[in-house]
Amino acid sequence: MKTAPKLPDGTPFPTLYYLTHPALTAAASRLETTGLMREMTERLGRDADLAAAYRRAHESYLAERDAIESLGTTFTGGGMPDRVKCLHVLIAHSLAKGPGVNPFGDEALAILAGEPAMAGILVEGQW
């Protein structure tokens, strides 16, 4: 789901995309408990190509949000571009924009697509 970048009272709220499917949201929460986010963040420091792709995801997210309404900040969501903080945001970004935009969202989706509980919800390569 895509939302406006401000709450009804005008408070800036930089998260643009949300997971809304209960099973997918629960699966993302479980995945967050595995240490994957820490491992992903560590990889950013070792892999310049991955870091560049994640920065491009951040810039794409920021441009899309600012096209709706600029918040005057470069903070986006999910920890982008320097760390991985919320797989829910990254997965939602990948689902909304398709493969190849957010490398960590794509990676998390590929992991989840292999889980039996995601059968009929995620089909590998079709998000």
Instruction: Give domain limits for the chain.
Output: 22-118
pLDDT at 93 over 90: yes
Amino acid at 82: D
**Does residue 126 have a pLDDT over 70?**
no
Q: For residue 30, count other CB atoms closer than 10 A to its CB.
A: 13
pLDDT at 73: 80
Predicted pLDDT of residue 63: 92
The phi and psi torsions of 66 (rounded to 5 degrees) equal -65, -25
Residue 25 — very low, low, confident or very high, per pLDDT cuts 50/70/90? very high
pTM of the model: 0.90
Burial of 78 (0-12, 13-18, 19+ CB in 10 A): buried
